[in-house]
Amino acid sequence: MADEALFEYLHSELVAYAFKDCEKDKQASDLSTLEYIGFSSGYRIIERLTKEWPRFKDELDTMKFICTDFWSSINKKQIDNLRTNHQGVYVLQDNAFRFLTRLSTGRQYLELAPRYVAFTCGLIRGALSNLGINSMVTAEVQSMPACKFHIQVQRT
């Protein structure tokens, strides 16, 4: 239990650090720093997680891995719902997203939610990128602590 708290505190400090300057200078908030930290973490983590794993069959197989094993090793639970249009758009729904459960259960602090999901967006993007899938990951929070991650796979 203790190690989970460590990660949660570190993450909230990371968010606080990334927005320190914004608040001082009254600039519009910038999520790209957090997203990038997430990206490089995800890129490295996946190398270790897939070590004992058989080769993935296709894109859907990879997404399933993200929803189950990847998610549970980071958030201690699996994704609650995975949807896809089979054309490169995936929606991952987590009904109790780790970094939001402590904040509120409703619409309070909703305007701060993007800060707490940016890191995870990057994490997913980094993981997929190392597995050979270029994507764009965005998050949508309508009511805390539920969160939806939209993954748009970029095909060239």
> What backbone torsions phi and psi does residue 107 show, to the nearest 5 degrees?
-105, 0
Told to check if 152 binds another protein by CB under 8 A, we report no
Judged by CB under 8 A, the residue of 2, 54, 111, 156 near another protein is: 54
Q: What is the largest CA-CA distance in the chain?
A: 50
Q: Which residue lies nearer to another protein by CB, 70 or 149?
A: 70
Q: Which residue lies nearer to another protein by CB, 62 or 100?
A: 62
Cα separation, 91 vs 153, in Å, equals 11
Told to check if 43 binds another protein by CB under 8 A, we report yes
Told to check if 135 binds another protein by CB under 8 A, we report no
How many other CB atoms sit within 10 Å of the CB of residue 69?
A: 14
- Residue ranges in 103-132 that form contacts with another protein under rule CB under 8 A: 130-132
Can you say how many angstroms the Cα of residue 84 is from the centroid of all Cα atoms in its chain?
A: 17
Cα separation, 100 vs 106, in Å, equals 10
> Among 14, 145, 147, which Cα is nearest to 91's?
147
Instruction: Tell me, residue by residue from 1 to 30, as one string, x for binding to another protein by CB under 8 A and - for no binding.
Output: ------------------------------
Part of the chain binding another protein (CB under 8 A), chosen from 12-20, 38-46, 77-85, 106-114: 38-46
| Spatial CB neighbours of 75, under 8 Å, sequence gap ≥ 6 | 94, 97, 98
Q: Which residue lies nearer to another protein by CB, 53 or 109?
A: 53
Can you say how many angstroms the Cα of residue 36 is from the centroid of all Cα atoms in its chain?
A: 12
Judged by CB under 8 A, the residue of 2, 6, 24, 55 near another protein is: 55
**Residues of the shown chain interacting with another protein in the complex, contacts defined by CB under 8 A:** 43-44, 46-48, 50-51, 53-57, 130-132
